[in-house]
Amino acid sequence: MSAPSTYALIQYAQRRHLAFTETVDGLDEGRFHFSAKDNLCALGFQARAGSAVLEGYRPPFDATPIHRLKAAGGQLVGKTTMDEFGFGSFSTNSAHGVPLNPFDPDRSCGGSSGGAGAAACLIPGHIALGVSTGGSISGPASFCGVVGLTPTYGRVSRYGLIDYGNSLDKVGLLSRSAASIAQHFGTIAGPDPKDPTSCAQPPLAGKGRMPSSLALPREAMENLDPAVRKAFQGALPVLRGMGVAVEEVSMPSLRFALPAYYVLATSEASTNLARYCGMRFGRREEEFNQHFNDFFTGVRSEGFGDEAKRRILLGTFCRMVGFRSRYYLKSLAVRQMLIGEYRRVFQEHDAVLTPTMPFLPPRFEDIRRMTPLEMYLADFLTIPPNLVGMPHVSVPCGYVDGLPVGMQVVADHWKEMDLLELAKGWEGAFLYTFPEVRP
C-alpha cells in the first residue's frame, strides 16, 4: 500500500484529531508545508487564538515568522488548535476544538500548542509553528512524541503574535525530527525592526557545539509519576553512551519559579486582553446606546472562556495597589535570581536536563477532575526555562504503555544551535516511534 499523501494526512489530522482550526483546500507540491498556531496572524485565515471573543477576526497581514517561511518557499497549510490565548496545559480550554492525542485519542495533546504537537506527529516532515509562554511547546512535544524547540526570548520576532505575556512569549517549532527544525529555524530567527525585543540578539551560530556535560537538578526529580521517572532514567545511559556526562546538582530557587511565572504571566495577560472590548477585533457589539462600561463588560463576559476569566482576575488582583510589591515586583526579582542560578550551573555544565512533563498524557476524564491549581502545578518543569527566557528543546526519551515520555534540555541564552546538535545526536542513539496513521 502506498504512503498516504501529505494532504490526506492533513485532512486526517483535522478530522480525527482536531489538530487544525482551518486548512487550505489543496497543496502546492512545489513548496514545503508548515502550519501555524492560531495565535499567529496570517493572511487568508481567521486568527482567533482559541477564543470566542476573536470570532471572525481576519488579520490583513502575516506574522513575521509566517512571512519568512513563505518567503523561503513554504506554504501555510493551516492554523492549529490551542488553549484560549495560550491559557492551559492540555488544550482543553479552547472554543474551536480540543485536539486529541495521536497515540491515544482519549488523552490530551498537552498545551497550549496542542494542535501543533498533533500535526507535527501525524504528518511526516511537517513543520509546526508553536508559541510558548510557560511550556506550550515543550509540553505538547512531550505528550505527542515529537521534538519541540523553544528559542531564547527575543530570538524570533513576535510581530503578528496575539500576545499572552509580553516578557515571556516565544515563537518556536515542532516537528518529528531535530534535523527538520534545524533546517527551518534559521529562517524564522533574526532581528525584525517590527519587534524591538528581537533586535538585541547576537547572530545565530551556523553550527552548534554539542553539549558534553548536563546538570540534572534533584529538585526536578521530585513529584514525578514513577513511570515517567523510570523512562527518563532509562535515557541517561544512552546519553552517557553518546559521551554526554550527566551530573546531579541542586537548584533550590526552582521552587520560586512557578508562582513567579503565574504572577508575571497573568499580570501581563490581564493588560493585554484589555483590548478585547467589542470594537476593534473579532466579536463586535452593536448596542452602541449602552454606557461604555456596560458595553465592554458585556462583550468580555460573553466572549472569554472560564480559564481566561480566571487568569484576568488573578493578574488584575496581583497588579492592584497594595499587592504590586508583594507579587509583581517580587516575581521580577525572582526571575533575575533564577537567571543567576542557571548561570552558576552553566559555569560547570553546558546545559540543564530534566523530564519535560511530570506525568504521561492524561485522559480527558482525569483532566476534568483537576483543580485549576493542580493544572498550574503540571507545568513545574517547563516553567523555569520559560520564565528566564532560556532556549530549551524537548525530545522523546522513552515510551510507557505506548505513550511517549519527553526529556527537556535547557541552555544559556542564544545557544539554540547547541541544543539542536544534541537533539540531532540523540536521534542517532534513540529510535522514535510514531503511531500508524491510516487516513
Partner 1 sequence: MDRETIAKVAKVARLALTDEEMERYAQDLDAILNSFAVLDEAPASDTYALNPVPVVDVLREDEPAQEIDPQLLRGQMGTYEDYVRGPRLS
**In 10 A of CB 154, how many CB atoms?**
19
The single residue among 173, 174, 334, 403 that binds partner 1, judged by CB under 8 A, is 334
416 Cα distance to chain centroid: 15
Helix (H, G, I), strand (E, B) or coil at 59: coil
The distance of closest approach from Cβ of residue 393 to partner 1 in the complex, given in angstroms and rounded to an integer, is: 18
Q: Cell 470570532, residue?
A: 55
The answer to the question of residue 304 lying near partner 1 (CB under 8 A) is yes
The answer to the question of residue 413 lying near partner 1 (CB under 8 A) is yes
The answer to the question of residue 53 lying near partner 1 (CB under 8 A) is no
The answer to the question of residue 321 lying near partner 1 (CB under 8 A) is no
The single residue among 4, 124, 186, 298 that binds partner 1, judged by CB under 8 A, is 298
300 Cα distance to chain centroid: 25
The answer to the question of residue 366 lying near partner 1 (CB under 8 A) is no
The distance of closest approach from Cβ of residue 320 to partner 1 in the complex, given in angstroms and rounded to an integer, is: 7
Identify the DSSP state of 252.
G
Q: Which helix (H) or strand (E) holds 78?
A: strand 74-80
The answer to the question of residue 330 lying near partner 1 (CB under 8 A) is yes
Could you give the angle at which helices 330-346 and 257-272 cross, rounded to 10 degrees?
130
The answer to the question of residue 312 lying near partner 1 (CB under 8 A) is yes
The single residue among 297, 359, 364, 435 that binds partner 1, judged by CB under 8 A, is 297
The answer to the question of residue 370 lying near partner 1 (CB under 8 A) is no
User: Residue 263 is placed in which grid cell?
Assistant: 504572577
The distance of closest approach from Cβ of residue 411 to partner 1 in the complex, given in angstroms and rounded to an integer, is: 14
The stretch among 11-19, 28-36, 68-76, 279-287 that binds partner 1 (CB under 8 A) is 279-287
The answer to the question of residue 159 lying near partner 1 (CB under 8 A) is no
The stretch among 121-129, 233-241, 368-376, 426-434 that binds partner 1 (CB under 8 A) is 368-376
The stretch among 92-100, 217-225, 243-251, 257-265 that binds partner 1 (CB under 8 A) is 257-265
Phi/psi region, residue 281 (left: phi>0; alpha: psi -120 to 50; beta: rest), is: beta
Q: Which helix (H) or strand (E) holds 215?
A: strand 213-217
The distance of closest approach from Cβ of residue 333 to partner 1 in the complex, given in angstroms and rounded to an integer, is: 4
The answer to the question of residue 259 lying near partner 1 (CB under 8 A) is yes
In angstroms, the CA 371 to CA 6 distance is: 39
User: Residue 66 is placed in which grid cell?
Assistant: 509566517
Phi/psi region, residue 292 (left: phi>0; alpha: psi -120 to 50; beta: rest), is: alpha
Q: Which is nearer to partner 1, 373 or 431 (CB)?
A: 373
User: Residue 164 is placed in which grid cell?
Assistant: 499572552
The answer to the question of residue 295 lying near partner 1 (CB under 8 A) is yes
The answer to the question of residue 336 lying near partner 1 (CB under 8 A) is yes
- DSSP string of 346-374, one letter each residue: HTT-SEEEEESSSSSPPBHHHHHT--HHH
The answer to the question of residue 190 lying near partner 1 (CB under 8 A) is no
Torsion over CA: 301, 303, 307, 311 (sign): negative
The answer to the question of residue 406 lying near partner 1 (CB under 8 A) is no
User: Residue 311 is placed in which grid cell?
Assistant: 487568569
Query: Which residues within the stretch 201-220 sit at the binding site for partner 1 (CB under 8 A)?
Result: 201
The single residue among 26, 226, 243, 301 that binds partner 1, judged by CB under 8 A, is 301
The distance of closest approach from Cβ of residue 400 to partner 1 in the complex, given in angstroms and rounded to an integer, is: 29
The single residue among 78, 86, 362, 389 that binds partner 1, judged by CB under 8 A, is 389
In angstroms, the CA 235 to CA 213 distance is: 15
159 Cα distance to chain centroid: 17
* Catalytic sites, residue numbers: 37, 112, 136
The distance of closest approach from Cβ of residue 314 to partner 1 in the complex, given in angstroms and rounded to an integer, is: 6
The answer to the question of residue 411 lying near partner 1 (CB under 8 A) is no
In angstroms, the CA 23 to CA 11 distance is: 8
